[in-house]
């Protein structure tokens, strides 16, 4: 039974590969959107009257890249947690337990929500509907902040010149 459980953790490869494929697809889609925006500006020029529209498009493209980065971070985190692939992690990204990945993911979701809301604000014409969107996002941010506030704090790992890490 232990051997089966030990081997079954490798099923997480499906989730990691799924995240990597989605990361690649979203990033390529964002890159294509950048090229299309540049071509459109080159053909029609960049009129000052279209600044608001261009800004909205820029934020939507930024949202795609942020989503791609989140998918990549999840893939790296799952790999480190379940597949012993910590060596693939960048130095700034430390995942020792699932809670660490949840924290990074929660913070990333807040950034994506804020960027999406800013895009909504730039497209907003009139009415009070934007207040409801902003209020909903504020509630999500407050809930995540409350969750993160109640997490136990751990001492960060310290890199030593000898190359080893000490808790």
For 2-55, write each residue's pLDDT tens digit: 888 878 877 889 999 999 999 999 999 999 999 998 888 778 766 666 777 777
Residue 163 lies in a domain: no
Q: Could you read off the pLDDT of 87-107 as tens digits, one per residue? A: 777 887 788 888 888 888 888
Domain count, the chain: 1
pLDDT digits (tens, 9 = 90+) for 124-151: 777 777 888 888 888 888 888 887 777 7
In a domain, 148, yes or no: yes
Q: Give pLDDT, residue 45.
A: 66
Whether residue 50 lies inside any domain: the answer is yes
Question: Considering the domain boundaries, does residue 128 fall inside one?
Answer: yes
User: Which long-range CB contacts under 8 A does 17-23 form with residues at least 24 apart?
Assistant: 19/71, 19/72, 19/74, 19/75, 19/78, 20/71, 20/72, 20/75, 22/68, 22/71, 23/68, 23/69, 23/71, 23/72, 23/75
Q: Is 160 among the domain residues? A: no
pLDDT at 152 over 80: no
Could you tell me the residue range of the domain that residue 48 belongs to?
Answer: 2-153
**What is the DSSP code string of the chain?**
-HHHHHHHGGGHHHHHHHHHHHHHHHHHHHHHHHHHHHHHHHHH---GGGHHHHHHHHHHHHHHHHHHHHHHHHHHHHHHHHS--GGGS-TT---SSHHHHHHHHHHHHHHHHHHHHHHHHHH--SSSHHHHHHHHHHHHHHHHHHHHHTSPP-PPPEE-TTS-EE-
Question: What is the reported pTM?
Answer: 0.73
What the block records as the tokens of 148 is 């993160």
Q: Please check whether residue 159 lies inside any domain of the structure.
A: no
- How many of the other CB atoms lie within 10 Å of CB of 69? 16
On whether residue 18 sits in a domain, the answer given is: yes
- Higher-pLDDT residue of 75, 128: 75
- The answer to whether residue 41 sits within a structural domain is yes
CB 65 within 8 A of CB 30: yes
């Amino acid at each position: 039974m232990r051997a089966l459980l030990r081997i079954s953790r490798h099923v997480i490869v499906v989730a990691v590969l799924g995240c990597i494929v989605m990361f690649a697809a979203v990033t390529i889609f964002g890159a294509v959107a950048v090229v299309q925006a540049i071509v459109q500006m080159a053909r029609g020029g960049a009129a000052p009257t279209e600044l608001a529209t261009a800004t909205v498009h820029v934020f939507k493209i930024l949202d795609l890249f942020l989503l791609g980065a989140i998918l990549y971070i999840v893939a790296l985190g799952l790999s480190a947690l379940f597949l012993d692939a910590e060596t693939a992690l960048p130095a700034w990204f430390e995942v020792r337990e699932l809670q660490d990945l949840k924290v990074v993911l929660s913070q990333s979701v807040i950034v994506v929500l804020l960027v999406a809301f800013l895009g909504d604000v730039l497209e907003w014409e009139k009415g009070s509907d934007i207040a409801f969107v902003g209020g909903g996002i504020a509630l999500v941010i407050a809930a995540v902040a409350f969750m993160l506030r109640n997490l136990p704090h751990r001492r960060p790992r310290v890199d030593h010149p000898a190359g080893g890490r000490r808790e």
